[in-house]
Amino acid sequence: RVEGLEGGVYYHHPVRHTLVLLSRRDDLGERVFPGNAAVYEQSAFAIFLIGNQSAIEPMYADWARNFSLLEAGHMGQLLMEVAPQYEIGLCPMGAPDFAPVEELFGLEDHHLLLYTFLGGGIELEQTRTLARQAETPVSVSDELKKYAGARLPDYMAPDSFMLLDKLPLTPNGKIDRRALPAPGSSERDEKTKFTLPDTELEKRLAEIWSGLLKHEEIGIHDNFFDMGGTSLQIVRLQSEIRDVLDEEIPVTKLFQYSTIHALARHLAQDAPVEETIQNKAAKRHGRRDSARQRKQTLKQTRKKHRIISEETQ
């Protein structure tokens, strides 16, 4: 399927950079790629990267296989980056079933299959698309978010990261934690639009946050922990919400809903926001009035008993 080249199995000579014919059989697809027959049928060729362990083991001993895999992975990456320049597309195929065709390659026990590709010609427009994708800068913060999000619960995964050119060190060579910039001191993520609190509940929450975090300007999409909040302050936040809004909320939920917008939506999900706050405030004032009335009644009762006691004497 490659123009000017007879079908078969070839060996790339690393010194002469030529292809040496090993076998004229070209029916590898059904036996090597049984689960990817459709992809194989659309491809023009397959590439097998095979390591000669007898040449590598004297240098790396037990690490020979690992170093072979690392080098093959690097070679595969380079091939995939360069191939589109020649209007060639490559698709990694993982670990195929290589045993049925090993004899076609003239391999011995010390040979190890490391990497496999299927490839073929691609259109010019596809190369332009790949080039645009390659030129698009990859956000380190976004990649770290994805990595952490795949391994941690939502409430534990950081929403943002602060990147430094280098870490400040003490004279002893340890990280100087006191010299690290404070969380939230960097500019907001450009993707996050600053939005002031709008609803009554959002405004109340912003007031609580402002008191705890010592920030005057807080947007509804700002993250509590990115603004400098700590696990100790999250407990204080729970207490403030209980006192101000008369709302019981587990600490785990505060970790999960770490922005004012998300927290307000969670708190108001069972009732309209304004009604919730008014009802909570009315109940809170009612309890305070009842407490004052009980205290006054108890005081009057004690005074009355004291007067009666004095009269009997």
H/E stretch holding 11 reads strand 9-13
CATH number, domain at 120? 3.40.109.10
> What are the CA-CA distances from residue 233 to residues 61, 213, 226, 241, 277 (Å)?
53, 8, 13, 12, 23
Residue 70 lies in a domain: yes
Q: Domain range holding 85?
A: 9-135
pLDDT tens sequence across 96-149: 677 777 777 888 888 888 888 888 888 777 666 655 555 555 677 778 888 888
pLDDT one-digit tens code per residue, 174-210 = 889 888 886 654 545 555 567 899 999 999 999 999 9
**pLDDT per residue as tens digits for the range 204-258:** 999 999 999 888 888 998 888 878 888 888 899 999 999 988 888 998 888 888 8
Do 95 and 73 contact (CB within 8 A), yes or no?
Answer: no
pTM above 0.95, yes or no: no
Q: Does residue 119 sit within a domain? A: yes
Q: Does 240 fall in a domain? A: no
Q: Helix or strand or coil: residue 266? A: helix
In a domain, 186, yes or no: no
Q: In 38-172, where do the E strands start and end?
A: 45-52, 88-92, 111-121
Angle at 46 between CA 42 and CA 47, to 5 degrees: 150
Q: Distance (Å, rounded) from C-alpha 309 to C-alpha 313?
A: 6
In a domain, 239, yes or no: no
∠ at Cα 104 (71, 100), nearest 5°? 85
Q: Is residue 219 part of a domain?
A: no
- The total domain count for the chain is 1
| Residue 115 backbone dihedrals phi, psi, to 5 degrees | -155, 145
Beta bridge partners of 111: 52
Is residue 199 classed as helix, strand or coil in its secondary structure? coil
**241 within some domain:** no
Question: Does a structural domain hold residue 113?
Answer: yes
Residue 185 confidence (pLDDT): 47
